[in-house]
Structure 1
Amino acid sequence: MTHEALRLMAVHAHPDDESSKGAATSARYVAEGNRVLVVTCTGGERGDILNPRLEGNPEILRDMPGYRRREMAAAAEALGIEHVWLGFVDSGLPEGDPLPPLPEGCFALEPLEVPVGALVRQIREFRPHVMTCYDENGGYPHPDHIMSHKVAVAAYEAAADPDAYPEAGEPWAVQKLYYDISFSVARIEAVHRALQERGITSPFEEWFETRRNRPHRQATARVECSAFFPQRDAALRAHATQIDPDGFFFQVPRDVEKEIWPYEEFQLARARIDVADGLEDDLFAGVVAEGLPVSRVGLEAEDRPRGGRLGA
């Protein structure tokens, strides 16, 4: 389905998240003439070098923030997306038992209203019809992912409220908010089994065994986007410090992936419009191109348009 200049905003925690989650969907919508804006909450300053070919690289070690900004620019070009930094500092991934305290001044410790206000401004400027973000578990329990979930959900609500953050611009009612669940246990399980059936060594053996008990979320939308796997892969490779080109992301034969799992999945979390029952194949399904009157957002849940799903 082709649209005319509809707008999608994807909220992510770090540079590289936009390329591993929902990237092919973003590339598809851009190719169809829509606009996609990725908002990256932090600069990824505390990310480790995960590509063994770059370990100890003095240029990277001297300026990890600058290097990751350049990687992000290259990834955005590969996907055709627009991009903004929300401007907060990476919290790092605490490890140990007990876990160490988070570093002072990091994103996860910001008073919620501060990043919410920053994201509300971006929403009111870009005026997306649809937003995507992580679920309440962050997709995985990184403190920045969990925080970005809280910020995105709060900003979705606040952006439409004329009394909230009046300095951030004119209110705008985003019509649907989805959780990106495309990196799901169901996907990994399906690909893992398909590889085993074909006698191909699966790179997900250990991953699957350690994550099989994660909560399974029910997809309400599947976007067919296999034609844009090359753009997704190019964006992933652009994040050279974070993605091992010989790692599991690239060990699944693309013909198998396209056959077994040619889509990315999402779960509807909030809606201000009527949403049809059944599995959607388009995140823009049912949206009003010209936007909603802000007065509609004040409706109580029972008065909202039929079919809208609230909460998740």
Structure 2
Amino acid sequence: MSQTPAHRLLLVHAHPDDESIGQGATMAKYAAEGRGVTLVTCTGGEMGEILVPELEHLAADREDGLGPHRRGELADAMACLGVTDHRFLGGFGTYRDSGMKWHPDGHAIPADDIHDNAFWNADLTEAATHLVAVIREVRPQVLITYDEFGGYGHPDHIQAHRVAMYGAQLAAAPSYRRDLGEAWAISKIYWGAMSESRTREGLRALRDAGDTTTFEGMDPDGPLPQFFRSDEDIDCEVDATPYLERKLDALRAHATQITTDGPFFALSNNMGSQAFAREQYRLVQGVRGEVDPATGWETDLFAGIPAG
């Protein structure tokens, strides 16, 4: 019988690949340290773009087979990160990728046509209750999800935020769905973020290296999208530099969505661990633990949480 890890982390993401982009290095670090890492993915990513020409037949408007393929990509990515506990909310296929379109202002909004069982249409209590079952089973001390805007407005990211936040509340209520197990209150909840200052450093490195196309339109000295946060908004930075290659391998595993000559790898080549192996977070529930005097940020998501 395996022993329950003393520290346990739960991540709630919308589609396969979101987890590797946002927190892949943190996941790899904590998994290697023997901490519990559980990923809940809310959809199969059925509406994603396909960057591999020979797999274009899987597109939603053709064979509609991208979801099962991305399920396999996710399994491969988790193997790269060393994460063994990854699940789909309510079981694979319960909720479908809602798709999106771009607003003229540059952020995502819901698509014009949305499938009946799209995650965006999910009943919030029903979806959150699926998560309650996971929370009460795993009993995580830390939860990570998106901010209220889903980072850049994607409807599934916004819905994942809602489900994660509501699910955490319901899981802590002893009288709610006793059949799903003993109530569990999550000690700390974080929203994924990206440091504005770190990002500007990365963009300057790209531009200084002569790269004017990666993240085209983003000015190192100009306005940035809202998921880049000022340093005063950041509460924790996990430095997982030794695990950078694991994160990059996980990104490569999501081959239908991410190309090895795309912006993520261009940025990692120029900034390395500074850009990709140091991941930032905003603490939105719980008490901040010990911080690094140099930054004023925690260096561990479990800071201040006793093991148990």
What is the TM-score when the length of structure 2 is the normalising length?
A: 0.83
2:260 is the counterpart of 1:242:
no
Distance 1:202 1:65, change over 3 A: closer
Partner of 1:286: 304
CA distance in 1, matches of 2:16, 2:147: 18
CA distance in 2, matches of 1:255, 1:120: 41
Partner of 1:65: 67
Partner of 2:205: 194
- CA shift, 1:253, in A, is 4.8
Do the aligned residues in 2 keep the contact of 1:54 with 1:241 (CA within 8 Å)? no
Pairing of 1:146-165 with structure 2 (within 5 A): 146-165=158-177
Among 76, 81, 96, the alignment partner of 1:89 is 96
CA distance in 1, matches of 2:54, 2:259: 9
CA distance in 2, matches of 1:161, 1:187: 39
CA distance in 2, matches of 1:173, 1:52: 43
CA distance in 2, matches of 1:56, 1:261: 29
Partner of 2:138: 126
Q: Which runs of 5+ in 2 are unaligned?
A: 105-109
- Post-superposition Cα deviations, 1:189-227, rounded to whole Å, max 9, x if no partner, equal 220112334555561232458972536431100111121
Do the aligned residues in 2 keep the contact of 1:129 with 1:289 (CA within 8 Å)? no
Distance 1:260 1:202, change over 3 A: farther
- CA shift, 1:153, in A, is 0.8
- Post-superposition Cα deviations, 1:233-280, rounded to whole Å, max 9, x if no partner, equal 111111111112221111135363235665110000111x56457410
2:275 is the counterpart of 1:268:
no
Distance 1:211 1:237, change over 3 A: farther
Among 55, 77, 80, the alignment partner of 2:82 is 80
- Post-superposition Cα deviations, 1:125-144, rounded to whole Å, max 9, x if no partner, equal 11111010000010110100
What is the DSSP-based 3-state SS (H/G/I as helix, E as strand, rest coil) of the residue aligned with 1:206? coil
Q: Percent identity over the alignment?
A: 38
Partner of 1:293: none
Do the aligned residues in 2 keep the contact of 1:9 with 1:130 (CA within 8 Å)? yes
Distance 1:171 1:208, change over 3 A: farther
What is the DSSP-based 3-state SS (H/G/I as helix, E as strand, rest coil) of the residue aligned with 1:181? strand
Do the aligned residues in 2 keep the contact of 1:191 with 1:257 (CA within 8 Å)? no
CA distance in 1, matches of 2:43, 2:219: 29
- CA shift, 1:48, in A, is 2.0
Letter in 1 for 2:144: T
- CA shift, 1:155, in A, is 1.2
What is the TM-score when the length of structure 1 is the normalising length?
A: 0.82
Partner of 2:43: 42
Range 143-152 or range 104-113, more displaced: 104-113
Do the aligned residues in 2 keep the contact of 1:28 with 1:225 (CA within 8 Å)? yes
Partner of 1:304: none
Distance 1:111 1:58, change over 3 A: closer
* Aligned alpha-carbon RMSD (Å): 2.6
Do the aligned residues in 1 keep the contact of 2:152 with 2:227 (CA within 8 Å)? no
Q: Which runs of 5+ in 1 are unaligned?
A: 291-312
- CA shift, 1:13, in A, is 0.3
What is the DSSP-based 3-state SS (H/G/I as helix, E as strand, rest coil) of the residue aligned with 1:83? strand
